Amino acid sequence: MDELKRQAAEQAVTLITSGMVVGLGEGSTALWALRAIARRLGDGSLSNIVGVPCSKNIERHATELGIPLTTLEAYDHIDLTIDGADEVDPQLNLIKGGGGALLREKIVAQASLREIIIVDESKLSPALGTKWHVPIEVVPFGWGSQRRFLESLGAKVTLRQSKTGGNFITDQGNFILDSHFGPISDPAALAATLSARAGIVEHGLFVGLTTQLIVATRK
């Protein structure tokens, strides 16, 4: 599976040209893209680019690899973002947020002229929610009321825990409620319902943001 992720990431990086502002996605597949970018910067086939990282984790890796970084305060748009996804439907809608960076990832996606999603074939699905839950970032205050709201919509909800114990905390200091809706017939309608709820900071439904999908397959 790592080899498939590497292949997809390296194909996506060929779309980057010198002088671009590049969104740097979160996740294991996006990390392969970071390595490919660093390699091209090192051999001189790519130059004068700056990256906008989608998480503190990716910011740290990019800095270690020598990739120059910037912010959305310095630039009014991003030329191209390379990111992964947890699930992709036939309309190129996504579930993202398995790594906990859904808020920053969506901010970067919305600022991007091109949103390139790289996945292996296991992430393809006939309908969002078939294989993956929807991560929902909520403010800690009153998070239980958000849980009850999500349950009223038919979701089975779990407060995400960190690998070291305790509640998982996002880069913005919020909680994540992993919400299992099952197959979602209308992702746009559910996204609108979630976005309208006070206390929900962001959700992992990325609807209408993908401009290109690169899939690595075993065949």
In order of 25, 171, 176, the CA distances from 145 in angstroms are: 31, 22, 13
Tell me the one-letter amino acid at 202: E
Give the count of beta carbons closer than 10 Å to the beta carbon of residue 215: 17
Annotated catalytic residue 105: yes
Question: DSSP string spanning 46-106?
Answer: S-S-EEEESSHHHHHHHHHHT--B--TTT-S-BSEEEE--SEE-TT--EE--TTS-HHHHH
Among candidate residues 105, 115, 137, 202, the one labeled active-site is 105
Q: State the catalytic residues.
A: 105
